[in-house]
Amino acid sequence: MSAHDLQPARQKILLESMPSLGGMYAKAAGQLVGRGATAGVRRALRSTPLPLPGRSGATRRRTTLRLPNIQIQVPGVKVEAHGNSVFCQVVEAPVRVDEKGREVAFSGYLHALAFPAAMALLTRDDFPLPTVGLVHLSNHVHHTQQVLVGESLDVTVWAQDLRKHRAGAAVDVVVELRRSPRGNDDDARGAGMVEPVWTGRSVYLARGVQLSSEAGGETASGESQQRPEFTPPVPTARWSLGADTGRRYAAVSGDVNPIHLSGPSAKALGMKGAIAHGMYTASRALAMVDAQAPMTWEVEFQTPLVLPSSVAVAVDRTGRAEGLREATVTVWNAKKRKPHATLTVQR
């Protein structure tokens, strides 16, 4: 039983195909201008990295906010060979094949494949948090079965657990991928027709949004607790990321958020410069582990990775290849001794 089966019945909204991310970012920008909130969002973006308790910044009082009680569904989304290949090339992930010589989809690519459906939810007029300015805190992915290139997946997205956070309001956006009953041969479908083959939970923060007392209490996770002082591990690698890193990732993921594309477009939204996509960092870290499903992986984003940049990386693992049991990948700024992201994998 999946998490959403325990929730009240949600209205199902069916999309015939994946929407355009570019169009949805344009819509989000239009909503921002319409609300007259540009200055507030700039302040929110400038306040990254995430504040420690007591540093929440300016707050904006809101009435009671409620998540739309809906599921967005996109059936029959095909896992394309070219899409998986070029994504792997950008994040330096090996393109893997199974024992029958069939190409296996990279777990990070599956997130990118489904992300437009998540954005369709976040940019709805009845979604209570502003899309522009949302801070991506973490991702948790349960990848239960290998997905083959050429398969078709049914994508389902919903939001849950809108709650108070010391810096504003946090929400979970959940994505489920199931093998489609159409467009797959019997051998590819296997046991995955009923159970999800990939489930991802993204946690987002809306800075300065103050929920009413009816909202849930603060999360007990590390999202809002005091972080321990970061002690850099022994580096095992270094990434040299060019100024075009965000544009290269946008080209293979479709995520054209302006804060990632160039210095001028990022500065227009209050950033010091363009920053790397969080899921670029997560996918590249995951590629270094080279783990295959079944697995669970989780990433916590700590401070933005400004481009261009050279960052230290440390990989600590128990076992390798099929014998891998767990691994941790840490990405940090060696000069400032500040962490950018920490990824953990368990099998």
Least confident of 15-29, 186-200, 246-260, 288-302: 186-200
**Cβ burial, residue 9 (10 Å; 0-12/13-18/19+):** exposed
Question: Which region holds residue 91: left if phi is over 0, alpha if psi is between -120 and 50, else beta?
Answer: alpha
Parent domain of 282: 3-346
**Cβ burial, residue 33 (10 Å; 0-12/13-18/19+):** exposed
Condensed to tens digits (0 to 9), the pLDDT of residues 183-234 reads: 666 554 444 446 899 999 999 999 889 887 655 556 534 454 567 889 999 9
Question: Taking the model in full, what pTM does it have?
Answer: 0.85
- Number of domains making up the chain: 1
Q: What whole-number distance in Å separates Cα of residue 283 and Cα of residue 293?
A: 15
Q: What is the CATH number of the domain that holds 171?
A: 3.10.129.10
- Which of 4, 2, 24 shows the shortest CA–CA distance to 15? 24
Report the pLDDT averaged over residues 106-111. 98
Q: Is 336 helix (H, G, I), strand (E, B) or coil?
A: coil
Looking at per-residue pLDDT, the higher value among 29 and 345 belongs to 345
Total Cβ atoms within 10 A of residue 97: 12
Condensed to tens digits (0 to 9), the pLDDT of residues 1-46 reads: 454 445 568 999 999 999 988 888 777 766 655 544 444 444 444 4
